[in-house]
Structure 1
Amino acid sequence: MLGRVASQRFCDLVSSSVQQLGDPAIGLKFGGMVGGNAFGLLGVASATAETLADVIRTLSRMESLTSTLGQVSVVRDAKVVHLRWKAHGQPPSPAVVEGILAGWASFGRYLLGANVPVRSISFCHDRRASSAAYEDALACDVRFNARWNALTVATDLLDARTRFFEPRLHNALWRWSDASIIVASAASSSLVRRVVDVIDGKLPWSVPSESEIARELGMSCRNLQRRLHCSGLTYRRLLECVRGKVAIGAMMNGSQSFVRIAERIGYAEQASFCRSFRRWAGIAPSEFTRALAPHFFALRTQTPPTMG
């Protein structure tokens, strides 16, 4: 699995690439290369949904677990569906936005195994590259200076079935997201982010206690409990969220045994880890990896279809 890049770092890399290479179409080219070889948690959860409608539902539901850059919303009219994207805070450079929407188009075409007839793609900014660059990357009508950054498809396309539907895997990730989304929605709290970061940093060596976390953050255990309670959370819930995400990421990587993963997230015995994983995902770790094998690893080795 490719390493993940923090959102701000990604934005900086894209912006500096545009400047250094003198190529305003960098974002379009990057987004157009989206395929199974870069799938992480969100990509696998979406790819294994049954229909395009389910893919969109998964994307809009689980995006907060994997991205802090922006948020997708879905607006349905009589004949078309608009997938809108809005940045959290200060909008990134146009090249970043173009990469995100080009990636959506490439992802949809990849999952359906065909050149999906995207109706249009709209950008809030003005045109930055040549018309040919947009045509090559997006293969649809492109609009600029729009009110929303959005990708639009016909509602008829929502029933199209994906090539990689795997109900066990999709349902397991959906179930795991139930508990984790609440944590992600509270992550706007700097305290929640700090607690999660401390837990993640300490887990390879030990399972930090609530009192250890409080000391690390310079507050009393009682004060930590009270402030987390105000966010609707507990320390135990944050610990379980971090453990689950690390475990699922390691299993998708495929390079570690269950024993090693259990040790990585602070379980003395593999059996204890397996019981917890079944509680998180509804299936045993062995079932999860069996579902991954013919789908996720196949996704990573296939070439996305060309556009145009």
Structure 2
Amino acid sequence: MSHGYINTSFLTGFSDLAISRGGNPTVLYEAVGLDRDSYIDEKFSTSATSHPRLLVTQEQFVELLEHSARELNCPDLALQLAKRQGAYILTPLVPMFANCRTLMDVIKVLEKYMSHIVYGGQIEVTVGENHIHTCVRAVHPHLLRYTQIEDYVLAVVYNAINHLLGKNYPLRACYFTRHETNPAQIEQYAQYFGCPVVFNNHELAVTSDNALMDQSVAEIISQFINRVKRSIPEHHAGFIHQIRQTISLSLANNGAPIEDIARVLNMGHRTLQRRLKEHNISYRALVDSVRHELANQYLQHSSYSFTDIAGLLGYSNLSGFSRSYQRHCGLSPTQARQQFLQLPGE
């Protein structure tokens, strides 16, 4: 049984990593049931008439990492993938930080963002007297038993802290739930995370010094934005998909207004409008297209309630989503879900 989707932004850099290890990304994708519409960063994968998909199931993502680690003889594949992605997957946070006045505001925004993009996942940050504890909760236990996904989740948290705060605040400790007794392997993890690493812990978490609470929030956000701008990659899949993917990550934040997306991409909104016009598409049409595509995927998955879907697509209430979907598809969300779940193989 599938437990939800993950945004394909988390596959950014996978193809180049696989090639660097002597592998064929196409073969690796197809081995776990992912077709060409799942390839988001390959130079040879996307036709001019289609766009890569925006979501894959969490199970497919985990299976891809596990299978590829074995096939490429790369046990630290997930760690390397997270490192290659840098701050890119955090780009939608740029406009979301605009109204933050305290570090706790920043932390709350980060918690909310991570819970939106990984369904069932939740980041909880606790500020203690001498430390800040960041814990990954509510990820489905059957997924976290896999080495690669546990590595990847914690590496993403670690990289998010680094890109948000810089390397002036190294971690105090890093905690894994799985077992590991090989001293060489433990040392490798300690070098990656730059701190002592504990295995067989009751939770997946990192702990950092709370001295960063004294740092200026405006300075933190300014430095973060500069790091994000430097991390935005050239999308082999094209400019339009880059916009689509950014919209898909940002919808839950107030519906992804064009000003926010333009800021994420380091351009003015008029420049973005002009470039979209060159591709014969309006920004509103692009948002509607992304919403429709995501809605159809979410509706095929019974674990997403209609209220969940409305929130993930940036609607302020369920009725707004229902009216929009009915207008676009000629069916209510309820009718569409019934049809989807009656299809063979669903």
TM-score by length of 2: 0.48
* Aligned-partner residue type, residue 156 of structure 2: G
Q: CA deviation at 1:217?
A: 3.9
2:161 to 88, 94, 108: 108
1:207 to 311, 320, 328: 328
* Aligned-partner residue type, residue 192 of structure 1: F
Alignment of 1:154-169 (within 5 A): 154-160=209-215, 161=217, 162-164=220-222
Distance 1:21 1:190, change over 3 A: same
Distance 2:120 2:189 in 1: 23
* Aligned-partner residue type, residue 8 of structure 1: E
Alignment partner of 1:98 is 2:151: yes
1:176 to 254, 257, 264: 254
Distance 1:109 1:205, change over 3 A: same
Distance 2:94 2:178 in 1: 27
Distance 1:143 1:205 in 2: 51
Alignment of 1:157-306 (within 5 A): 157-160=212-215, 161=217, 162-164=220-222, 176=254, 189-192=303-306, 207-209=328-330, 212-218=332-338
What SS class does the counterpart of residue 33 from structure 1 fall into?
Answer: helix
Distance 2:302 2:337 in 1: 17
Give the 4+ runs in structure 1 shifted more than 4 A: 1-5, 46-52, 172-175, 187-191, 193-197, 203-206
Distance 1:91 1:43 in 2: 30
Is contact 2:116-2:252 (8 Å) kept?
no
Q: CA deviation at 1:125?
A: 0.7
Is contact 1:46-1:56 (8 Å) kept?
no
Distance 1:23 1:149 in 2: 22
Is contact 1:18-1:26 (8 Å) kept?
yes
Q: CA deviation at 1:99?
A: 1.5
Q: CA deviation at 1:72?
A: 1.4
Alignment of 1:43-82 (within 5 A): 45=96, 52-82=103-133
1:152 to 198, 207, 211: 207
1:31 to 44, 68, 82: 82
Is contact 1:47-1:55 (8 Å) kept?
no
Extract unaligned runs of 5+ from structure 1: 167-171, 178-183, 220-308
Superposed CA offset, 1:232-287 (max 9, x none)? xxxxxxxxxxxxxxxxxxxxxxxxxxxxxxxxxxxxxxxxxxxxxxxxxxxxxxxx
Is contact 2:143-2:149 (8 Å) kept?
no
Q: CA deviation at 1:40?
A: 4.8
Distance 1:115 1:154 in 2: 10
Is contact 1:34-1:106 (8 Å) kept?
no
Q: CA deviation at 1:156?
A: 1.8
The equivalent residue for 1:224 is none
Extract unaligned runs of 5+ from structure 2: 1-8, 13-39, 41-53, 226-249, 256-297, 313-319, 340-346
The equivalent residue for 2:70 is 19
1:88 to 140, 148, 157: 140
What SS class does the counterpart of residue 8 from structure 1 fall into?
Answer: helix
* Aligned-partner residue type, residue 88 of structure 1: H
Distance 1:158 1:143, change over 3 A: same
Distance 1:91 1:214, change over 3 A: closer
Superposed CA offset, 1:26-75 (max 9, x none)? 22222233423344535763699566543321121232321115221223
Q: CA deviation at 1:15?
A: 1.0
Aligned CA RMSD, in angstroms, stands at 4.2
Percent of aligned positions with the same letter in both sequences?
Answer: 22
Q: CA deviation at 1:132?
A: 3.9
* Aligned-partner residue type, residue 140 of structure 1: C
Q: CA deviation at 1:97?
A: 1.3
Is contact 1:85-1:150 (8 Å) kept?
yes
Q: CA deviation at 1:122?
A: 0.4
Distance 2:194 2:203 in 1: 19
Q: CA deviation at 1:89?
A: 4.5
Is contact 2:169-2:209 (8 Å) kept?
no
Is contact 1:84-1:150 (8 Å) kept?
yes
Q: CA deviation at 1:103?
A: 1.9
TM-score by length of 1: 0.53
* Aligned-partner residue type, residue 79 of structure 2: L
Distance 1:208 1:85, change over 3 A: same
Distance 2:126 2:89 in 1: 28
Alignment partner of 1:121 is 2:174: yes
Is contact 1:45-1:58 (8 Å) kept?
yes
Distance 2:112 2:309 in 1: 23
Is contact 2:325-2:333 (8 Å) kept?
no
Distance 1:208 1:16 in 2: 38
Total equivalences in the alignment: 204
